[in-house]
Chain A
Amino acid sequence: QQQVKQSPQSLIVQKGGISIINCAYENTAFDYFPWYQQFPGKGPALLIAIRPDVSEKKEGRFTISFNKSAKQFSLHIMDSQPGDSATYFCAASRPSGAGSYQLTFGKGTKLSVIP
């Protein structure tokens, strides 16, 4: 059962454009929502994260928008650059007992930014 649904699977954006990736979740126990960026041959790198008590968080060209009532969150990449071409994963974390947290990942979005 996929608990975090991510769309689209792939995305092609012109340089300078806005890239938008969407995620939806079902489990209301999730309380932390990070986004990861992965380049080929590398492990995922933490990009930006948000808590559900905040509706938006911005770091440089990257913005997370969060809609708690709709159980949806999205990543916006402003002024997209070819160097942003990578696979992006949304994730959701929840406490799973004994002080532990478990991350559940979306399936990923392969972003290609063309010049």
Chain B
Amino acid sequence: KAGVTQTPRYLIKTRGQQVTLSCSPISGHRSVSWYQQTPGQGLQFLFEYFSETQRNKGNFPGRFSGRQFSNSRSEMNVSTLELGDSALYLCASSFFGTGSYEQYFGPGTRLTVT
């Protein structure tokens, strides 16, 4: 099976702009989670989507939003970009195994805000 794919891999944006990142999960996986990774804060949970519905949300401002399509592909959007939004954004595709919860990560999108 192909792994989780994320596009684009790199982005440079200016403060105040908005950005949309895309994630395609592993075939058959219906849950997609998004994380922000920074050197200072580590991996922080943004939100999770399952069957086109947001099931869970982390402690991020409303500028961060997402959606999921019927084919399980997901997008996340960040509006009014701030310098502090520079980070690696990771998408994880989820499989609910027997007694376990396994997440498989994509390579991430490196966002730089100038």
Residues of A within 8 A of B (CB): 32, 34, 36, 41-46, 49, 51, 89, 93, 96-108
Contact = CB atoms under 8 A, between A and B. Distances in A.
A46 B96 CA distance: 14
A41 B37 CA distance: 12
A49 B99 contact: no
B80 interface: no
Contacts of B81: none
| Across the A-B interface, the 4 shortest Cβ-Cβ residue pairs | A43-B105, A100-B55, A105-B43, A101-B101
Contact of B103 (A42, A46, A96, A97): A46
B66 interface: no
Nearest to B107: A43
Q: Give the residue among A43, A97, A105, A106 with the most B Cβ atoms within 10 A.
A: A43
17 contacts: A32-B100, A32-B101, A34-B103, A41-B107, A43-B92, A43-B105, A43-B106, A89-B43, A97-B55, A98-B55, A98-B56, A100-B50, A100-B55, A100-B56, A101-B96, A103-B45, A103-B101
Given A103-B45, A104-B45, A49 B102 contact: yes
Interface size on B, as a range, is 20 to 34
Nearest to B99: A51
- Per DSSP, are chain B's interface residues mostly helix, strand or loop, or mixed? strand
Nearest to B33: A103
Interface string B74-113: 0000000000000000101010100111111111100000
B44 to A, nearest CB: 8
A58 B33 CA distance: 28
Nearest to A104: B45
Contacts of A32: 99-101
A108 B70 CA distance: 34
A93 B43 contact: no
A99 B50 contact: yes
